Structure 1
Amino acid sequence: MPGLWDRFSSSSSRPSSPEQPQQPPAWATAARGEGLGRCASLESSDCESLDSRHSSFGPEEETEYPDEASLPDLELLSDPEDEHLCSSLMQLLQETLSQARLGSKRPARLLMPAQLVAQVGKELLRLAYSEPCGLRGALLDVCVEQGKGCHSVEQLAVDPSLVPTFQLTLVLRLDSRLWPKIQGLFSAGPSSFAPGFSQSLSLSTGFRVIKKKLYSSEQLLIEEC
């Protein structure tokens, strides 16, 4: 899994927190393995339909927070380290999406509009504010909606040396105006694209973030933007 804490710490003079044991406990390893399969297993059109019965962390409920009042004002939660980490994370996310493959062997360069980059970064900071290690403790699963399901793109660990404390599933959406032209990207048949071909696709500014704490059995928190 790509990580960016080393990238950040090498350019920062801030002292880092003590290193955690290199071998995470079994529950953390299980959570990492569960993450990449989460979006791939969503077969319905509702990507929020996560079956908590298959979770090793006990029953959980899905709660929607339709207004921004449910989370504190970001200006009151400013943390220079988290802000730098978030900036690096967004760069890594854009690089990852630019090399994504949707469906079976179909290359696609997914582009994040500037507005989407800003909104996602803001939401990730909001969701990390109450965590003991802040954004460093995040495990980010990146998914893209494709028709009635979700395609898992990548799992990103902000700090691979740290046992993750919470898991974020970022569900992005393709611009709906492009759908008639791109349905072939998700088919399993032989590719009609020439070798080396990469199609650029713009993402919608709408997205969803699902937060799951890995150290408690609290209910899921779903942020839809």
Structure 2
Amino acid sequence: MVATSSLNNKNSVGHAEQIQQGFWHTTLTDFDYWDYVVPDPNFNEMVFEEQTCQSLVRMLESCLSKSKQTRLHCSKVLVPEKLTRRIVQDVLRLSSTEPCGLRGCIIHVNLETGNVCKKLDKIVYDPTVVPTFELTLVFKQDSCSWPSFRDFFPRACFTSSSKRTLILSPGFRLIKKKLYSLIGTIVEEC
């Protein structure tokens, strides 16, 4: 360890004697200590993780957007603030222990309404990598929200049934299934 300091002049042992004894009496300041102990953060890694996180958030939002007309038959999907960001953080955490990380992941996106689970889409983060694990993401419909004004009247009053709004719950389920395990399928649920 190298510390920058000055000799202690109050010591009765002379400068030459300290060199002969093989040590210097040094004073380590707090600034020097923290420079040595605390490693520099790897900013490239932080930027890469943030870009990965934003990319996966966009993929999830795109999946929900495409599913509006095809699977959900609604005009709007209202997503709670920061829900996709929390999901992505859990996805990154679950993929951190995998051989190929997030690149070896397939995410099956589903929506649970009542007792029924609808398949919405499949997200493959990197199609060039053979998948090593699958994640099943289950969004939940918000059952505590107020019913729509449209729900109080018969369908005949409204020309289009695809004008309803779907509100997602802040809760979700994420299930991990390893595809390469020697002891069989391993399922981990968040």
The equivalent position to 2:104 in structure 1, one of 137, 140, 143, is 137
**Aligned in 2, Cα 1:153/1:192: closer, same or farther, shift over 3 Å?**
farther
Q: Does 1:113 align with 2:65?
A: no
**Aligned in 2, Cα 1:127/1:79: closer, same or farther, shift over 3 Å?**
farther
Q: Does 1:92 align with 2:63?
A: no
Matches within 5 A, 1:1-225: 80-101=47-68, 106-178=73-145, 180-181=147-148, 194=159, 197-216=162-181, 217-223=184-190
The Cα shift of 1:170 comes to 0.3
**Aligned in 2, Cα 1:138/1:83: closer, same or farther, shift over 3 Å?**
farther
Aligned Cα root-mean-square deviation (Å): 3.1
Does the CA contact (< 8 Å) of 2:60 and 2:84 recur in 1?
no
Q: Distance in 2 between matches of 1:110 and 1:132?
A: 35
Does the CA contact (< 8 Å) of 1:142 and 1:152 recur in 2?
yes
**Aligned in 2, Cα 1:82/1:175: closer, same or farther, shift over 3 Å?**
same
**Aligned in 2, Cα 1:159/1:143: closer, same or farther, shift over 3 Å?**
same
Q: Distance in 2 between matches of 1:97 and 1:105?
A: 9
Percent identity over paired residues: 37
Q: Distance in 1 between matches of 2:156 and 2:97?
A: 46
Q: Distance in 1 between matches of 2:46 and 2:185?
A: 25
Who is 1:11 aligned against?
Answer: none
The code of the aligned residue for 1:202 comes to I
**Aligned in 2, Cα 1:108/1:164: closer, same or farther, shift over 3 Å?**
farther
User: What does the per-residue CA deviation read over 1:10-54, in whole Å, with 9 as the maximum and x for residues that have no partner?
Assistant: xxxxxxxxxxxxxxxxxxxxxxxxxxxxxxxxxxxxxxxxxxxxx
The code of the aligned residue for 1:121 comes to V
TM-score (ref. length: structure 1): 0.53
SS of the residue 1:120 aligns to: helix
The Cα shift of 1:106 comes to 2.3
**Aligned in 2, Cα 1:161/1:103: closer, same or farther, shift over 3 Å?**
closer
Does the CA contact (< 8 Å) of 1:100 and 1:108 recur in 2?
no
The code of the aligned residue for 1:112 comes to V
Higher relative contact order (CA 8 A, sep 6+): 1
User: What does the per-residue CA deviation read over 1:116-173, in whole Å, with 9 as the maximum and x for residues that have no partner?
Assistant: 1221111111101101111111100000101112011000100111111110000011
SS of the residue 1:153 aligns to: strand
SS of the residue 1:114 aligns to: coil
The Cα shift of 1:175 comes to 1.2
